[in-house]
Structure 1
Amino acid sequence: MRKPANFLIAVILLAVISVFLSACQVQTPTVPDKSTASKTLTIATSFYPMYIAAVNVAKDVPGVKVVNITQPTTGCLHDYQLKPDDLKTLSEAQIFIVNGAGMEAFMDKVVSQLPDLKIVDASKGIPLIKGDGEEGDNPHVWVSISNAIQQVKNIGLQLAALDPEHAAQYNANTTAYVDQLDALRVTMHQNLDGAKKRDIITFHEAFPYFAREFNLNIVDVIEREPGSEPSAAELADTIETIKESNIKALFAEPQYPAKAAETIARETGAKVYTLDPAVTGSMEPDAYLKTMEANMKTLEEALN
């Protein structure tokens, strides 16, 4: 009986030694296939409305990250000065989405130093409104919901061309978001096209495209540039215009102090309403839709 037991023990020892030696062998490391390795495509946007459009077009696209180079509270890029963090964010991106129409002209020198950066011009093909005198084209094209739809289409087409691997998803996202925008556009026209009053006074030059879409007449602009207080003579002229035109509504913007508008309202009896050009707000993808819906309700009250 002793011999079989010894034989069994020897067999077990050999098996254990074999397993141990196998575990100790040097394993050849697996080299990941570069073609399948995960890659991150960083898309930078110049300011808030471009970010909202881009996150809708690039929604759930694998390996794609959308970042905004300016703070969401920046507003329009009038006289904006790039900060070191802005430049760092831009330098790490492969694609840069801009509004165009002259809004980001101050970035031209920086962008020229990044030859590999691909530029997506959201305003491509959109007819621009000329500024007064020596002013350039008005860049606030996104404030018109029809122009916003065209910008989203432009972004979708250009991203699909630059990142063909995900073209189908960019196209699907573009279609889905455009459908939402178009549904709201129809509702806005249904509610605003029959408004009793058409003459409005706005805070600064953000609303010409919006006014053109809804057949509104901008009688006067309180501040041509945000933050530039009108002179006493300009205030007097605006007050006189309101009295002569019997305008009952002034439209200030939530991004800027409405001191001048409130002064005019006291002198004329007009009411100050808030009309949002969608240059700041929530970073949620539906933010532009909510802003335009709120503008529609404000105008319904003010113009009727």
Structure 2
Amino acid sequence: MLFISIAVLSGCASNSTQTNSETSSTKDGFTIVTSFYPMYVETINVAKDIPNVQVINMTEPQTGCLHDYQLKPQDLITLNSADAFVVNGAGMETFLDDVIKQDKDLKIVNASDGIDLIKDASGEDNAHVWVSISNCITQVKNIAEQLSVIDPKNAEAYQSNADAYIAKLEALKEKMHASLDMVSNRNIITFHEAFPYFAEEFNLNIVDVIERDPGTTPSPKELEDTINIVKESKVKALFAEPQYPAEAAQTIANETGAKVYSLDPGVTGTADETAYDAYLNVMESNLKSLEEALK
């Protein structure tokens, strides 16, 4: 019945991760499945080098945010191998609600437990909590703690790995604050609503959002309104995201004299060895972009 229900719910997009083909080989170990790339990066750091523990990402590393994601039969096969399923929570994985209700044995690790959520323009919870380094640290702690309950024999290793990764995140957060706390110009315009938690952490003021729904093209009226806001507020920095085309941002820049920079929410990457430092590298790149734009 579960397979039938998923077939009805599934969309037309393809799904194949680097590790899906290895699912059947880990039945004697402990298999952790993650919902999308940010959760994958956090979880592989928590589970790093623990024997017989494997982390599989359910979606492709290049999937991006799961705003309009539709579950597919291959996802169910991957989930069927899970001893634990790590999700972002905060409304990001609503497409999984029916599956979770039907599979009572699926152990869910909610990485966003205890995080205060920001409402977006439509009044819904903004799910992009990991983009804040402080929230990312909380998520890593949650993942380690909840995995330790589900897989107690590896609890000490999960906690040790989490502590090591959190030390790197704390050092990066301190470095970013040392640079950005001194910035006088804090007004920015972002591509879509992925950065409220990041802006809150570093006391940046998001004056406007170019595309509130990623992948949608702003109407001529919306573009005109944003252009007027840029002119009135004297915003000099527009931040596009590498996952989406920047035509709208460039149009606004051409009309206002503002410059387009890049801010990466860290939702895409690779599933190889470089993934361990993917979030750290993205935030380092974001820091450089902000330094150039705001100083």
Q: TM-score, normalised by structure 1?
A: 0.86
- What is the 5 A alignment of 1:136-285? 136-283=124-271, 284-285=275-276
Bigger radius of gyration among the two: 1
* Matched AA of 1:58: A
Partner of 1:302: 293
Uncovered stretches (5+) of structure 2, i.e. residues with no partner: 1-26
- 2:62–2:270 Cα contact (<8 Å) kept: no
1-structure distance, mates of 2:48, 2:28: 17
Aligned to 1:54: 43
Kept in 2, the 8 Å contact 1:248–1:271? The answer is yes
Name the CA distance, whole Å, in 2 between partners of 1:303 and 1:161: 44
2:293 aligned with 1:293, yes or no?
A: no
Structure 1 CA distance, aligned partners of 2:125 and 2:206? 17
CA distance in 2, matches of 1:158, 1:61: 16
Matched, 1:105 2:90: no
- Which residue type is aligned with residue 292 of structure 1? M
Root mean square deviation, CA, Å: 1.0
Corresponding residue number in structure 2 for 1:87: 76
Counterpart of 2:170, as a letter, is: D
Q: CA deviation at 1:241?
A: 0.5
Deviation at 1:115?
A: 1.6
Q: Between Structure 1 and Structure 2, how many residues are aligned?
A: 266
Q: Any conservation in 2 of the 1:94–1:116 contact (CA below 8 Å)?
A: no
The alpha carbon displacement at 1:111 in A equals: 1.9
Distance in 2 separating the partners of 1:41 and 1:118? 12
Q: Which amino acid aligns with 1:93?
A: A
Shift of 1:113: 2.0
Match of 2:212, SS? coil
Could you tell me which residue of structure 1 aligns to residue 22 of structure 2?
Answer: none
Structure 1 position 98, deviation (Å): 0.3
- Opposite residue 201 of structure 1, the aligned amino acid is I
Q: 1:112, CA displacement in angstroms?
A: 1.8
Q: CA deviation at 1:282?
A: 2.9
Q: How does 1:8-157 map to 2 (within 5 A)?
A: 39-133=28-122, 135-157=123-145
**Contact 1:101–1:139 (Cα < 8 Å) also in 2:** yes
Letter in 2 for 1:72: P
Q: CA–CA distance in 2 between the matches of 1:59 and 1:47?
A: 18
Following superposition, the deviation at residue 89 of structure 1 comes to 0.5
* Cα distance per residue 1:208-249 (max 9 Å; x no partner): 000000000000000001011111111001000101111111
